[in-house]
């Protein structure tokens, strides 16, 4: 496999992205990593390992840059990395850069899967029982009910092939668990998803997300973004408050030192970087989106996701699943 890595994208680019790419090159010694970016970014490394090559991209799409600029930035690292997939010079892209730019580059160059109105961004997030997927988490702030149906179909394939769940439990994110709870969008989507052969477990609430009892959480990109970031903020605030409390006295500090391994374990359990990233769902190619703040570890794991998608024929399985549902 040939994985094009956008070394210019991300808050910690290029250093951490390159570090992660080099880790991945060791881990996947029989695969090829292609670093795409500015020459000066890789200069400090010196000689690249045998299975790492470099492709120059003169430009960069900044993290908060308007996505419309991409049409004028065809020398940007994300555009070129995606173009390589389109032209058969690479098999997949990995980027921690602007998600909107990555989505635009993929949609415009690789195209959408037939039957998918709008591609979605999925996020694999940690729960008490392992990683689960939520989609959409940002690409589509306003959705139509049939889009949520498509998200359910795509999330199902993802959970089967990448998370290894035989019969993924699919739920709609709503403001109550009863079937009559929801807004106009989710109420209509509920009816549609219920009629499929999916293992649909109905409406679930924000408080159920981390239970691990839902494999695929379906939502519009606005709600999904709010749910994920609320969880992230809650973790942060809680740890901050706890830390302040644990350093208040000598006795507490000693006790805190004794329980430190438990905190470290916890930190690892809730570490998004373990999951690396998730592919854009609904485009005709593998383009793995990483969190903007990804460090090397996340990039390394994101390459693993890309390899996994390729080995499992993810895109064609997705295409078949969507086509099958359309026929029913």
Residues interacting with a second copy, by CB under 8 A? 64, 66, 127-128, 138, 141-142, 173-176, 178, 180, 182-184, 186, 205-211, 220-223, 225-238, 240-242, 245-246, 248, 251-252, 254-259, 261-263, 265-266, 269-270
Q: Token pair for residue 266? A: 């916890």
| Residue 131 to residue 233: CA distance in whole angstroms | 19
Would you say 294 or 300 has its CB closer to a second copy?
A: 294
Would you say 25 or 227 has its CB closer to a second copy?
A: 227
φ, ψ at 51 (rounded to 5°): -95, 20
3 state DSSP class of 298: helix
Contact between residue 318 and residue 143 where contact means Cβ atoms under 8 Å apart: no
What is the smallest separation between the CB atom of 237 and a second copy, expressed in angstroms? 4
**Length of the chain, please?**
328
| Residue 8 to residue 6: CA distance in whole angstroms | 6
Contact between residue 299 and residue 21 where contact means Cβ atoms under 8 Å apart: yes
Taking Cα atoms as reference points, which of 140, 318, 109 lies closest to residue 225? 140
| Residue 130 to residue 107: CA distance in whole angstroms | 30
Would you say 35 or 275 has its CB closer to a second copy?
A: 275
Would you say 49 or 176 has its CB closer to a second copy?
A: 176
Contact between residue 277 and residue 291 where contact means Cβ atoms under 8 Å apart: yes
**Can you name the residues that pair with 172 across neighbouring β-strands?**
203, 218
What is the smallest separation between the CB atom of 171 and a second copy, expressed in angstroms? 13
What is the smallest separation between the CB atom of 158 and a second copy, expressed in angstroms? 21
Would you say 68 or 320 has its CB closer to a second copy?
A: 68
Would you say 220 or 325 has its CB closer to a second copy?
A: 220
What is the smallest separation between the CB atom of 267 and a second copy, expressed in angstroms? 10
**Can you name the residues that pair with 18 across neighbouring β-strands?**
none
3 state DSSP class of 216: strand
What is the smallest separation between the CB atom of 134 and a second copy, expressed in angstroms? 11
Contact between residue 303 and residue 28 where contact means Cβ atoms under 8 Å apart: yes
What is the smallest separation between the CB atom of 143 and a second copy, expressed in angstroms? 9
Contact between residue 75 and residue 58 where contact means Cβ atoms under 8 Å apart: yes
Would you say 149 or 172 has its CB closer to a second copy?
A: 172
What is the smallest separation between the CB atom of 137 and a second copy, expressed in angstroms? 9
């Amino acid at each position: 496999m040939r994985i094009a890595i956008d070394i210019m994208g991300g808050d910690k680019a290029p250093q951490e992205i390159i570090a992660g790419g080099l880790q991945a090159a060791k881990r996947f010694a029989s695969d090829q990593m292609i670093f795409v970016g500015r020459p000066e970014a890789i200069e400090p490394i010196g000689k690249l390992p045998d299975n790492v090559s470099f492709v120059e991209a003169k430009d960069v799409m900044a993290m908060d840059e308007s996505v419309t600029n991409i049409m004028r930035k065809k020398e940007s690292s994300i555009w070129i990395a995606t173009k390589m997939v389109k032209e058969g010079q690479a098999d997949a892209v990995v980027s921690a850069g602007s998600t909107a730019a990555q989505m635009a580059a993929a949609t415009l160059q690789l195209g959408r899967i037939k039957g998918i109105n709008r591609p979605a961004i999925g996020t694999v997030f940690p729960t008490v029982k392992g990683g689960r997927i939520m989609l959409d988490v940002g690409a589509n702030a306003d959705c139509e009910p049939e889009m949520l149906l498509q998200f359910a179909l795509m999330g199902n394939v993802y959970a089967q092939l990448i998370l290894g769940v035989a019969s993924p439990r699919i739920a709609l994110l709503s403001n109550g668990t009863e079937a009559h709870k929801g807004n106009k969008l989710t109420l209509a989507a509920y009816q549609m998803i219920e009629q499929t052969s999916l293992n649909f477990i109905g409406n679930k609430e924000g408080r159920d997300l981390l239970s691990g009892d839902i494999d695929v959480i379906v939502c519009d990109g606005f709600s999904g973004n709010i749910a994920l970031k609320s969880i992230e903020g809650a973790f942060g605030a809680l740890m901050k408050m706890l830390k302040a409390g644990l350093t208040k006295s000598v006795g507490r500090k000693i006790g805190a030192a004794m329980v430190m391994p438990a905190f470290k374990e916890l930190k690892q359990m809730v570490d998004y970087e373990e999951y690396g990233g998730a592919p854009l769902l609904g485009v005709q190619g593998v383009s793995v989106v990483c969190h903007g703040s990804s460090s090397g570890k996340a990039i390394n794991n994101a390459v693993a996701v890309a390899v996994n998608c390729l080995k499992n024929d993810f895109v064609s399985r997705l295409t078949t699943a969507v086509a099958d549902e359309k026929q029913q």
